[in-house]
Amino acid sequence: MKYFETIYFIVDSETQASLYNPWKSSFERRGYIVEIINTENLAYRILQSMRIERLLQLYRWSRRDVLNSKIQSLLVKCFRPVRSIILRRINFMINVEVSDKNSLAFVFKGLDVKPSTLKTLKNQGVQLVTLNGDSYFNMQSSNQFIIDSAKFYDLVITWSDALDNELKSKLGLSNTKLLPFSCEEILDPVKPSWLNLDLSRSLVF
């Protein structure tokens, strides 16, 4: 493995801890320094500086391109000017923090990371890796930043053949690597009488 001065984990929120913590522990066991840049925490600090931290939930809604209700969509539309300020500041902070060409930036999903930020880091020689635990194309958990950014990564880690093929066919990516989540087949699943599902091809995680 190439030696990096620092490995930066860029995460959307603490809710992703179960996804990134095993990676963090693995890197640290090998002697690497891992710094975490939590963009939701950055957003909260920015909202605090503007004395409107109560709008954090609006910020969370604004990160996704498709919302569950018309009311949410209307509120997010009104919130766009604030969202724009938050994004500019977050991406400025990322550019300042991750500036060493001997660094690796590992982005977990990347709801707040602009493609232009990744392009700048790449031009500086920073190695870029991403892992998205959801589908890139489910816009209730994704956004256009994530889709437009995919081409800038040196490595896009995927967790299913279907998603890997979709990224290649829809986005023309050649930088993907399939790494399925750890699982095993249930040979003889136990199904409660009330569960009306076929478990014959289920997985245990």
Whole-structure pTM value:
0.85
**Mean pLDDT over residues 46-59, rounded?**
94
Residue 95 confidence (pLDDT): 94
Whether residue 161 is predicted with pLDDT greater than 70 in this model: the reply is: yes
Average pLDDT, the chain: 88
Q: What is the pLDDT of residues 32-42, one digit of tens each?
A: 999 999 999 99
Residue 91: band (very low, low, confident or very high) from pLDDT cuts 50, 70, 90: very high
Candidates 191, 163, 98; CA nearest to 107 is 98
Burial class (CB in 10 A: 0-12, 13-18, 19+), 93: middle
Position 63: which residue type? R
Whether residue 48 is predicted with pLDDT greater than 70 in this model: the reply is: yes
Task: Tell me the CB-side half-sphere exposure of residue 70, using CA atoms within 13 A.
Answer: 0
Neighbouring residues of 81: CB distance < 8 A, sequence distance ≥ 6: none
Q: What is the pLDDT of residues 104-153, one digit of tens each?
A: 999 999 999 999 999 999 999 999 999 999 999 999 999 999 999 999 99
Answer whether 31's CB lies under 8 Å from 71's CB: no
Residue 204 confidence (pLDDT): 43
